[in-house]
């Protein structure tokens, strides 16, 4: 979910056929039955294959050993368990992974319109909720301000 920006509902319903290894994409049918295409890389493809080998469901990419879809609750429990092991606060949920996906892409310079498309948002205002001003983004903005306005400010800080 972190590397793809999937919603919990997207993940639990993701069919094996969603993985297109030839085109290196994940075809996700999201809210409102809208399809979105997510590029994947070789390490993620390998991880998805290993995940599938665990249960070998003909239908679902993420499934129980009985090949039935995994529940949203099971994912939430797994995230809670990881949260506790890592010492994260209670505000760390499965949905935070989606926010982190969007923020990480923004930190790497991916345009918000592209992030909007990858998240499957119809509205740019929905995407803006997912974007957070992290320390790396603050540092990047600070560097850009230095480059853009260096000739407008005194050297070495405040002078009387």
Active site residues: 7, 31, 95, 98, 121, 130
Paired tokens of 51: 């995940």
Paired tokens of 38: 């997510």
SS3 assignment, position 15: strand
Paired tokens of 135: 């320390």
| Per-position b or e across 38-47, b if 16+ CB within 10 A of its CB | bebeeebbee
The stretches of 15-134 forming alpha helices (DSSP H) are: 42-55, 72-86, 94-107, 112-119, 124-130
């Amino acid at each position: 979910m972190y590397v793809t920006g999937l919603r919990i509902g997207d993940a639990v319903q993701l069919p094996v056929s969603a993985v297109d290894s030839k085109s290196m994409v994940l075809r996700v049918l999201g809210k409102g039955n809208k399809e979105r295409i997510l590029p994947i890389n070789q390490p993620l493809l390998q991880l998805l294959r290993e995940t599938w080998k665990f249960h070998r469901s003909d239908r679902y990419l993420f499934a129980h050993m009985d090949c039935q879809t995994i529940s949203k609750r099971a994912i939430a429990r797994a995230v809670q368990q990881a949260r506790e092991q890592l010492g994260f606060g209670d505000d760390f949920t499965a949905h935070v992974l989606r926010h982190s996906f969007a923020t990480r892409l923004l930190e790497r310079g991916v345009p918000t319109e592209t992030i909007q498309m990858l998240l499957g948002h119809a509205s740019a205002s929905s995407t803006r909720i997912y974007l957070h001003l992290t320390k790396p983004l603050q540092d990047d903005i600070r560097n850009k301000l230095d480059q853009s306005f260096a000739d407008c400010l005194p050297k070495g800080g405040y002078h009387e």
